[in-house]
Amino acid sequence: MSEQILKINKVDICTGSFGNPKDPAVLLIMGAMSSLDWWDEDFCLRLADQGRFVIRYDHRDLGRSTIYDPGTSNYTITDMADDAAGVLDAYSIDQAHIVGMSLGGMIGQILALRYPDRLFTLTLIASSVFGTEMEKLPPMDQSILDHHAKSTSIDWSNRDAVIPYLADGWKTLAGSKSYEQERIYKLAEREADRAKHLPSRFNHALLGGGDVYYDRMGEISVPVLIIHGTEDPALPYEHGLALAKTIPHAELVTLDGSGHEIHSEDWDQIIDSVVKLSSR
């Protein structure tokens, strides 16, 4: 992997890439409070092996990108969409296949509306409708909120406390498939070691903006793939169904027993689906 810090929209954005830059580009956009590390390197390599140039990056307030004081709000979700477009600019990519997970999927929806000429396709993993319709759908499981409530008592300078907290956060998001403790702990270790200041991640809870794009998913014109687990505790399966109903001609791929995660058992199905869509 080639990792670099780029100046985008007057902030530092850390990116990493896999594969041949001459291949079709796939930009991976992770969800809230999650660094690029959670796009597992082996997942990215497998996708690159399918003839794709794969890019992942740290959002603001995560990893090695620009961070702000915890408890402050310095940007909107529209700014985050502009960051994604800026990553493409930095790599001299005119058009790409966008793959967004959770919040990353909502950023992807804004990208498709704000920069329609920059997308070939859009894949939404464990995401939801961007707009008022989301309020009518089943809420996040309370256990996830309870876990993050513990963050106020974490000693963020204590690596031995931080890593289990990060890993257990993903455990609360799991479905009934086996919890991949060893893999998740390795990713948590990497995130902890790369991050400039882990508590800044919670600034994502203050994220606003994007109102002008509310409830406009019906205007998305690029081919759309929706991938959603049947046991997602953060954005229950109904959110994926709502996306499939709202976005014209969207295709839904259901992951039985999967939660709000990219479980290694699902990698082949996810990669095959993305490659098939991006080969159109």
Kindly write down the DSSP assignment for every residue of 203-265, as one continuous string: GGGG----GGGTT-GGG--S-EEEEEETT-SSS-HHHHHHHHHHSTT-EEEEETT--SS--GG
- Whole-number pLDDT of residue 2: 78
User: In the numeric block, which tokens belong to residue 160?
Assistant: 């031995």
- Whole-number pLDDT of residue 105: 98
- Whole-number pLDDT of residue 280: 83
Integer CA distances (angstroms), 55 to 58, 71, 82, 136, 171, in order: 11, 29, 16, 34, 26
Whole-number mean pLDDT of the chain? 97
Query: In this structure, are residues 103 and 117 in contact, taking their beta carbons and an 8 Å threshold?
Result: no
User: In the numeric block, which tokens belong to residue 188?
Assistant: 């948590």
pLDDT in tens, the chain (280 residues): 779 999 999 999 999 999 999 999 999 999 999 999 999 999 999 999 999 999 999 999 999 999 999 999 999 999 999 999 999 999 999 999 999 999 999 999 999 999 999 999 999 999 999 999 999 999 999 999 999 999 999 999 999 999 999 999 999 999 999 999 999 999 999 999 999 999 999 999 999 999 999 999 999 999 999 999 999 999 999 999 999 999 989 999 999 999 999 999 999 999 999 999 999 8
* Pairing assessment for the beta strands 11-18 and 53-57 based on DSSP bridges: antiparallel
Task: Count the residues in the chain.
Answer: 280
Backbone angles phi, psi at 158, to 5 degrees: -100, 100
**The model's pTM:** 0.98
Integer CA distances (angstroms), 118 to 43, 88, 94, 114, in order: 24, 9, 6, 9
- Whole-number pLDDT of residue 208: 97
Question: Across the strands, what pairs with 97?
Answer: 26, 121
